Structure 1
Amino acid sequence: MALPVRTNLKHLLCFIQKFNSPKRFLCAERSAGNKESPEGGRVFSGIQPTGVPHLGNYLGALENWVALQNQYPSVLYSIVDLHSITQPQDPADLRRNILDMAASLLACGIDPERAILFQQSQVSEHAELSWILGCLTTLPRLRHLPQWKMKSKVKNEGSVGLFTYPVLQAADILLYKSTHVPVGEDQIQHLELAQDLARIFNGRYGDLFPVPAALLSSTRKVKSLRDPSSKMSKSDSQAMATISITDSPDDIALKLRRAVTDFTSEVTFDPEKRPGVSNLVTIHAAMARMSVEEAVSQARGLDTFAYKKVVTEAVIQRLTPIREEIERLRSDPAHLEGLLARGTLRARELAAPVLREVRQRVGFC
């Protein structure tokens, strides 16, 4: 049976009318700073199975996902394998990466008793709703989204799947009548499309979908250890640039020891003038669960070489139990497959009645 979704559409619509700017109408919330749990609502988010997450994924998204389990009565996290095939995938690698991602999410603290964890492709309602929403979406609307502009420019062309990727994202969100979506600032325009499609569908067929609000994490972006002007990324060609959450203590120490800083030995936080050192402070503060000011205070009297050791200790301390749990879970793929199958059943219990209602309103039945 679908869980009740308590949302105040009237309030949201008034908010949108009052503030007619893209960033304001997102109704963004700093979820990490919320001390009171919301009375209702449903959170949805997804992550591609592109291998084990890195430190930036953990601090920028997964740590917040864990916190949201305690703040909202209904939470869904999906391993979005339909999205992953917009780029060529080896089938064996994809199957392995799906289980690796499941193990990683569990090890980071996702609790299948408090959140529904499932594999997107196993819930066929995602694809059908995506087609219906695609018929409500114009080509100019999609051409201006960052995913298409960035990736199609690199290849001088792109697949239809890459072009319509944001429509599938919108379907992922709306299929569960989600009221809140944790996003990074670089994903805001894609969430705006989901909001627009909710309004378009509601306007044409009658109110059905809540207009989902953004939950912006308060954690600063983690930068590449070799190029602090760029985000930390799995696709970085430099092996020393990215810390994986399964890296050994020796690997973590080596990567941080070689992290780019500058010629000033004092530790300060100035992302514009000292991006490398500031990146280390950001990592230290996040991993040691303290403010940036506290991290800088702890570094007083240390040069950057000595400070790297402090950062290394904080990272190793947090990631070691996660790495060990991932290794344990990987050794039992049947357990991971069973857990995802149970999550899929729970997700379909929520998705199926929504799609039935959509089909009826559109006129299919």
Structure 2
Amino acid sequence: MYAERVLSGMRPTGRLHLGHYHGVLKNWVKLQEEYPCLFFVADWHALTTAYDSPQVIEESIWDMLIDWLAAGVDPAQATLFIQSRVPEHAELHLLLSMMCPLGWLERVPTYKDQQEKLSEKDLSTYGFLGYPLLQSADILIYRADKVPVGEDQIPHIEFTREIARRFNHLYGREPGFEDKARDAVKKLGSKRARLYEELRVRFQQEGDEAAVEQAHAMLEEAQNLSLGDRERLYGYLEGSGKMILVEPESMLTEASRMPGLDGQKMSKSYGNTIFLREDDESVTKKIRTMQTDPARVRRTDPGDPEKCPVWQFHVIYSDDGTRDWVQQGCRSAGIGCIECKQPVIEAVVKEQGEMRERAQPYVDDPSLVRNIIADGCERARKLAQDTMRDVREAMGLSYG
């Protein structure tokens, strides 16, 4: 099988806020410790909805990258790059579009949702209809087997799996595939070859998924197989061709519990955000003026933390002791709202200070970010070119 690899991207739509940090970036920082990760700026994706105002994209890219670095994304551990600097994404997208049924794109749930949500824009464009396929190309070009997504994005990963399956089925049949696969079985040695044949029959005739897992484990242990033979045996096992594109799995990420200053979802369009790297004075002012439980008109009125947006900040930022103090003090009117907000202000200001400190070298010298991206694009491009070599060959496009 191909190596484990995580891929995730973000559209450049302006400055990032705490919702992005708790919803995505914190998770990226954790993932980069555990897997080889590729994180990219999805600038072509931004064009699917902002095609008429591309200047926003350019302004946002470098700011967004500094926000990633400020949040702790580490270029020594993960590959950071910009989608449009790896033109192979576009080539794979084009080739996949030749075999992608139109109905599959129209069925993607976000297609109708987004059209309704952004009804003021003309989204009856080819690019908007095709963006799930571009997203599939982004994943498949790196043979990434893990994609961290929220629940609303799961249909996109399912769609990508179907595209990979259809591609492998259509183009994974190299000339003489069956003969080559049978020769590869012999290389397993008689005992393993017998087991492989049994497992193959169990899967193809009885649909036994456990047989596939067992066979995969056995093939991974087989030392004397070339990568090509191993791929042939995976394909032969499941009755498809050689596996050229890898079917990714969704890694479900916890939804961000970070509310906006008014208790709604944090979003620039609601004007309820705290941006990453915001200065202390501004953060303090925003949290101080947050609305609280409407029942607490006077300082002496008891309140209910569950009805107060500030409590949701305590859930994220405070320890158990502080949370108990809030619950008790608010319900008994023992503490006032300003007192209650103080620990939150201190925690957010501390976190922001650390982010500003990490970001400072890049703010002082923007060429550092550009160098990180140049290196990342080069690394990403090598991986993309390997995949495209196999894709072109499978589709009969590698003319001598």
What is the CA-CA distance between 1:268 and the residue it aligns to? 4.0
Distance 1:334 1:183, change over 3 A: same
In structure 2, distance between residues paired with 1:347 and 1:145: 28
Instruction: Report if aligned partners of 2:97, 2:133 keep a CA contact under 8 Å in 1.
Output: yes
Distance 1:168 1:295, change over 3 A: farther
Q: Is there any run of 5+ residues in structure 1 with no aligned partner, and where?
A: 7-40
* Counterpart secondary structure, 2:74: coil
Pairing 1:163-312 to 2, within 5 Å after superposition:
163-206=129-172, 207-218=243-254, 220-226=256-262, 228=264, 231-234=265-268, 236=269, 238-239=270-271, 241-264=272-295, 265-266=302-303, 268-269=305-306, 274=307, 277=308, 279-288=309-318, 296-303=323-330, 305=337, 306-312=339-345
Is the counterpart of residue 78 in structure 1 residue 40 in structure 2? yes
Q: How many residues align?
A: 312
* Counterpart secondary structure, 2:38: strand
Pairing 1:132-171 to 2, within 5 Å after superposition:
132-153=95-116, 154-155=119-120, 157-158=122-123, 159-171=125-137
In structure 1, distance between residues paired with 2:379 and 2:16: 25
In structure 1, distance between residues paired with 2:22 and 2:322: 16
What is the CA-CA distance between 1:176 and the residue it aligns to? 0.5
One-letter amino acid of the structure 2 residue matched with residue 5 of structure 1: Y
Whichever of the two has the greater Rg, that structure is 2
What is the CA-CA distance between 1:250 and the residue it aligns to? 2.2
Distance 1:287 1:156, change over 3 A: same
What is the CA-CA distance between 1:202 and the residue it aligns to? 1.9
Pick from 336, 357, 362 the counterpart of residue 390 of structure 2. Answer: 357
One-letter amino acid of the structure 2 residue matched with residue 256 of structure 1: I
In structure 1, distance between residues paired with 2:329 and 2:109: 41
Structure (1 or 2) with the greater helix fraction: 2
Which digits, 9 at most, give the CA deviation of each residue in 1:6-32, with x for residues without a partner?
4xxxxxxxxxxxxxxxxxxxxxxxxxx
Distance 1:146 1:249, change over 3 A: farther
* TM-score, length basis structure 1: 0.78
What RMSD, in angstroms, separates the aligned Cα atoms of the two structures? 2.3
Residue matched to 2:197: none
Instruction: Report if aligned partners of 2:47, 2:54 keep a CA contact under 8 Å in 1.
Output: no
Which digits, 9 at most, give the CA deviation of each residue in 1:298-357, with x for residues without a partner?
423333723222222211111122134334412322221111011000001111010111
Q: Is there any run of 5+ residues in structure 2 with no aligned partner, and where?
A: 173-242, 296-301, 331-335
* Counterpart secondary structure, 2:23: helix
What is the CA-CA distance between 1:150 and the residue it aligns to? 2.6
* TM-score, length basis structure 2: 0.72
Instruction: Report if aligned partners of 1:285, 1:294 keep a CA contact under 8 Å in 2.
Output: no
Residue matched to 1:24: none
Distance 1:352 1:294, change over 3 A: farther
Instruction: Report if aligned partners of 1:284, 1:314 keep a CA contact under 8 Å in 2.
Output: no
What is the CA-CA distance between 1:156 and the residue it aligns to? 6.8
Identity of aligned residues (%): 35
